[in-house]
Structures are given as structure tokens and as C-alpha cells.
Amino acid sequence: KQEVTQIPAALSVPEGENLVLNCSFTDSAIYNLQWFRQDPGKGLTSLLLIQSSQREQTSGRLNASLDKSSGRSTLYIAASQPGDSATYLCAVGNTDKLIFGTGTRLQVFP
Amino acid sequence: DTAVSQTPKYLVTQMGNDKSIKCEQNLGHDTMYWYKQDSKKFLKIMFSYNNKELIINETVPNRFSPKSPDKAHLNLHINSLELGDSAVYFCASSHYRAKDYEQYFGPGTRLTVT
């Protein structure tokens, strides 16, 4: 049974820092991995999708990497801003569904 | 230009009632999903439909009955609501077999059962 864990559960950093969010999964037989952002009381915004054959994806200040063999993905956020404050969720694509991690709640203070 | 929309956004009801949540997507996707986010913010798949056919039912009580009248719509009907059904319900869509395609989520429906 696939289990997805995210560390840390919460993170508070000053503006301008580069930071790394971690996601680990127990079954390496995945189709893809997707990173989402969720603002309080809002829906999910897709940030990046990494296919199982890819090693990383980049979008603006975000870079996500995938190491299937070790069951890990990282989301790197460069030059963090207060507007980056949100909960970040990773989700592993397995056959016909996404299996979500527990989330990292990020706060970036000015 | 809304991609995945849900109605209502908020739903407050009493135990024992029956309620429905509607979902529509205009992305041309052929697969739609319902996810539940509990009070601890954990998201879990409930159902998925491909071309109006059920492909996933994750041991959800049979009080929950999804209905897909066409590829663009997936509604969720809940009978005999219980306190434990209180949660945020998200609809999502993608192309079939999420291998190479992203899932896009609706804004969620916050259900409160009193």
C-alpha cells in the first residue's frame, strides 16, 4: 500500500530564503508525482507535474526533483516571498488516482 | 473560463438529511474524481469515473453515490448524512490514466453536518 509522507510538517522562514520541502513514498512503481499548493479555505493549485521517466521539472522559482528508486521528491523554492505562504502537498500518481502526502505548512514572514 | 467548478461552495445540513454536490469541468477531460479532505487536512480519493463509468470506489460507504450524466459532470449524492461526513469535498478531472496528465481541482465544497 502506497504511503506518502512530507517533512517538515510546518516551516517558518524569513523572506528571501531558499528552501526545500521533502516528500517520500513507499512504493516506487508510480506513474507521476504532482506538487500542489493550497491556500487556507481554498482549492488546490497544481504547481508541477513530474512524469515517472523524468528527474526534475522547473517553473519560475520552483524546481521539483524526483528520485523514484529512493522514493523521494523535493520541491525547491528559491528566494521565498510572503506570497508563497500556503500548504504544499505532494501527490503520487498510482494507476487511476492520486495518493496525497500529509502536507507542509509554509509561512514566509517579511 | 472556470476549469473545474463545484456547487455549492458551502453546505450546512442536519444529520439524516440527503444532499448533493455538483461538479462540472470544461477542460475536455474524460476522467473525473471526488476527493475528501478531513479535519486534519488529509486528502483521500473517494471515486473516479472515466467516460461515465466508475473505475475507482475506495471503500466509501454506500450512502455516497456518485453519478456521471456525461463526461463533463460528476455529481455526488449523500444519503442519511452523519456528523463524520463533515469535510471538504473536492472534485478533480484529468485525461484518462493520470500517467502523463495533471489532475485539476475544483475549489471544494465545505460540508458541515450538525
pLDDT, tens digit, 9 for 90 and up, residues B40-93: 889 999 998 888 888 888 878 899 999 999 989 999 999 999 999 999 999 999
Residue given cell 495518493 in the structure block: A99
Q: What is the pLDDT of residue B100?
A: 67
Contact B43 A102 (CB under 8 A): no
Residue of B nearest to A87 (CA): B41
* Alpha carbon of A82: minimum distance to chain B alpha carbons (Å): 22
Torsional sign, CA A25, A31, A32, A38: negative
At B98, is the pLDDT very low, low, confident or very high (cuts 50, 70, 90)?
low
The alpha carbon of residue B58 and the mean position of all alpha carbons in its chain are separated, in whole angstroms, by 13
The pLDDT score that the predictor gives to residue A87 is 96
Integer Cα distance of A65 and A84 in angstroms: 19
Give the containing element (helix H, strand E) for A35: strand A32-38
For chain B, the average pLDDT equals: 91
Interface residue A49 vs chain B (CB under 8 A): yes
Between A and B, how many CB-CB pairs are < 8 A?
62
Which chain B residues are Cβ-neighbours of A31 within 8 angstroms? Answer: 97-100
Instruction: Tell me whether A44 touches chain B (CB under 8 Å).
Output: yes
Contact in structure between B102 and B1 (CB atoms under 8 Å): no
Q: For chain A, give the mean pLDDT.
A: 94
Mean pLDDT, residues A30-40 taken together = 93
Q: What percent of chain A has pLDDT over 90?
A: 84
pLDDT tens by residue, A68-98: 999 999 999 999 999 999 999 999 987 778 9
What's the pLDDT score for residue B40?
84
Task: Give, in order, the Cα–Cα distances in Å from A105 to each of A35, A36, B5.
Answer: 13, 12, 25
Say which residue the cell 488529509 belongs to: B42
In angstroms, rounded to a whole number, what is the distance separating the alpha carbons of residues B82 and A24?
A: 34
Share above pLDDT 70 across residues of chain B, in percent, rounded to a whole number:
95
Is residue B99 pLDDT above 90, yes or no?
A: no
pLDDT in the model for residue B56 = 81
Nearest Cα to A15, choosing from A74, A78, A89?
Answer: A78
